[in-house]
């Protein structure tokens, strides 16, 4: 394996590149297997940030942070790009060629497409899709942006009829053209899927795929009427609390037809699938019941869902939010919003996750992004505009840690309030090497290109 090496730093990008595959890799363990990955040192973290009243320009913005320790601007915000107004900025995802970063607004339903390849240090707004609801025939709340080959699959959270949780996935071309809407199966219309338990609620949230098994999975959260409601008000509203998802759906990845609906009660959120070629399983966690669930293919080739561990004390409702699986499939980071903790589970036996470490990151905590080698982990604070804590507990931060295998060590942090940026939400990694560019602060460039397509299930995922 030849290595793409720039000066003393080794940046390795692998992915679905061919010819002379450039080698750089980024959150790297949670992204689409269709995409090139940064396996070495990432240069940037792009933070999709909610505008906050009374802070700076009050607009949603893409914030670029320099995270390369060898850069003169390491640890600094090096660029901000406001998109105009507040949209309930939430998640983002790269196209499969990693040239563009799509970012959604859960309230405005706008999708902002950033060019991140022309100058990775200074993303520009390339295109805005503002007819998502109309084009999709009523899908509301563009959430996850998941790269397919030449296409983007976008999960919705809601609909424009009752603003509840009934929703669909919406498929776009990389050039921003609407392709199709794939509604989630319900009791009224299972669309050919098998209902394996009590629920077929039609809710949506996250998406991940195992191409090797021609399998795609979606989880289920709640609709616009809940995610835009004040958190305290919602908790005290029994009817609102009934409007949470209880399902994971397995889809045929190629045909986009739903095949099986699993009961996973308690609002299963992020989905993370194993990377190793023979690991036919994915994890999710339930927000309301605080459990880790395993979605797995049994020895008979049937897909099943099973609760395999508790997270903290479920009775205290710690509210697990983002999770991140390590590239070797042995570890799972689990964030809990209410207590601001990150927990590391040993999942080398996926049926018996065991917590081996925990640390309080802040007063509230949502997202994590870890490097492919697992040595660096970044954390942000915001969940939803109306769900974030109030007053002094509404800390808004980006924190960079190194992980030595036993504990997290803080490297630097950025106070998004002090910097008048807003509420820090989802992170994605960037690197010069993805686009064949040398790092500007390095001399004596010696580049060796990796032509191998190795491990990581590249060919099998």
Partner 1 sequence: MRSSKARILFNAVLVALVFAQGVLAEPSKPEVVLAPGWGKLSFEAPVAGTYDLPKIRPAAGGAILDAAGKSLDLDDLLGAKITVLSFIYRTCDDINGCPLSTMVLHRLAGKVKEQPRLTDNLRLLTLSFDPEFDTPEVMNKFGESIKGSSANKDGAADWHFLTSKSEQAIQPILDAYQQSVIPDMQTQADGRKKYSHILRVYLIDRKKQIRNIYNVSFLHPDILINDVLTLLNEEQVGQKPNRKAVSL
Interface residues toward partner 1, by CB under 8 A? 1, 15-22, 33-34, 36, 96-97, 99, 136-138, 149-151, 159, 161-162, 166, 168, 171, 173-175, 177, 179-183, 189, 191, 211-214, 252, 254-257, 277, 435-436, 445, 447-449, 451-455, 457-461
In this structure, are residues 426 and 47 in contact, taking their beta carbons and an 8 Å threshold? yes
Residue reference for tokens 């939400």: 425
Residue 297 CA, distance from chain mean position: 23
The minimum distance between CB 211 and partner 1, in angstroms, equals: 4
CB of 274 to partner 1, least distance (A): 15
DSSP of 56-122, one letter per residue? TT---EEEEEE--TTSTTTTSEEEEEE-SS---EEEEEE-TTSSEEEEEETTT--EEEEE-SS-TTS
Minimum CB distance to partner 1 smaller for 31 or for 321: 31
β-bridge partners, 113: 102, 127
Task: Please say which residue, 163 or 428, places its beta carbon nearer to partner 1.
Answer: 163
Q: Compare residues 406 and 443 and give the one whose CB is closer to partner 1.
A: 443
Distance CA 99, CA 117 (A): 5
Question: In sequence order, what are the beta bridge partners of 180?
Answer: 171
Q: Is the dihedral of CA 299, 304, 305, 307 positive or negative?
A: negative
Minimum distance between the CB of residue 352 and partner 1, rounded to whole angstroms?
Answer: 27
Ramachandran bin of 266, using left for φ above 0, alpha for ψ from -120 to 50, beta for the remaining angles: left
Q: Which is nearer to partner 1, 350 or 457 (CB)?
A: 457
Paired with 101 in beta bridges are 94, 114
Residue 324 C-beta: closest distance to partner 1, Å: 22
| CB of residue 151 to partner 1, shortest distance in Å | 7
**Closest among 375, 346, 380, 343 to 360, alpha carbons compared:** 343
- 73 vs 173, beta carbon nearer partner 1: 173
272 in Cβ contact with 327 (< 8 Å): no
Pairing of β 303-310 and β 320-325: unpaired
Q: For residues 57 and 187, which CB has a smaller minimum distance to partner 1 in the complex?
A: 187
Q: For partner 1, give the closer residue by CB, 180 or 410.
A: 180
| Rounded least distance, CB 149 to partner 1, Å | 4
Shortest distance in whole angstroms from residue 377 CB to partner 1: 27
């Amino acid at each position: 394996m030849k290595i793409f090496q720039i000066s003393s730093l080794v940046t390795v990008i692998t992915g679905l590149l061919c010819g002379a595959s450039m080698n750089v890799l980024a959150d790297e363990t949670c992204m689409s297997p269709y995409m090139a990955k940064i396996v070495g040192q990432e240069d940037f973290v792009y933070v999709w940030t909610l505008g906050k009243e009374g802070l700076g320009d009050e607009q949603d913005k893409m914030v670029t942070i320099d995270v390369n320790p060898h850069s003169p601007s390491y640890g600094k915000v090096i660029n901000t790009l406001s998109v105009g107004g507040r949209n309930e900025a939430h998640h983002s995802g790269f196209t499969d060629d990693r040239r563009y970063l799509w970012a959604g607004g859960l309230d405005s339903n706008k999708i902002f497409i950033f060019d991140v390849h022309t100058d990775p240090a200074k993303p520009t707004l390339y295109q805005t899709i503002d007819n998502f609801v109309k084009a999709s025939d009523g899908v509301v709340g563009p959430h996850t942006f998941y790269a397919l080959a030449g296409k983007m699959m976008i999960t919705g959270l809601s609909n424009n009829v009752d603003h509840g949780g009934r929703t669909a996935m919406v498929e776009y071309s990389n050039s921003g053209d609407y392709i199709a809407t794939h509604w989630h199966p319900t009791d009224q219309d299972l669309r050919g899927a098998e209902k394996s338990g009590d629920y077929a609620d039609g809710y949506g949230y996250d998406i991940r795929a195992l191409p090797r098994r021609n399998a795609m999975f979606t989880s289920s959260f709640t609709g616009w009427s809940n995610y835009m409601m004040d958190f305290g008000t919602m908790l005290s509203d029994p009817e609102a609390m009934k409007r949470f998802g209880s399902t994971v759906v397995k889809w045929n990845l190629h045909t986009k037809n739903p095949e099986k609906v699993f009961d996973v009660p308690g609002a299963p959120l992020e989905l993370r699938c194993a990377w190793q070629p023979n690991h036919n399983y994915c994890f999710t966690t339930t927000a309301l019941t605080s459990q880790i669930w395993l979605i797995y293919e049994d020895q008979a080739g049937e897909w099943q869902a099973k609760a395999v561990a508790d997270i903290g004390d479920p009775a205290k409702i710690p509210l697990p939010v983002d999770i991140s699986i390590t590239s070797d499939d042995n570890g799972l980071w689990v964030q809990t919003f209410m207590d601001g903790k990150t927990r590391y589970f040993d999942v080398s036996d996926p049926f018996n996750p065991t917590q081996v470490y925990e640390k309080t990151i802040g007063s509230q905590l949502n997202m994590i992004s870890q490097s492919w080698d697992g040595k660096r982990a970044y954390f942000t604070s915001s969940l939803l505009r109306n769900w974030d804590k109030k007053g002094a507990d509404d800390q808004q931060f980006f924190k960079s840690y190194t992980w030595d295998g036993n504990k997290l060590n803080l490297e630097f942090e950025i106070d998004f309030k002090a910097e008048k940026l807003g509420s820090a939400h989802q992170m994605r990694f960037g690197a010069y090497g993805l686009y064949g560019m040398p790092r500007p602060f390095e001399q004596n460039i010696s580049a060796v290109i990796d032509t191998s397509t190795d491990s990581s299930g590249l060919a099998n995922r």
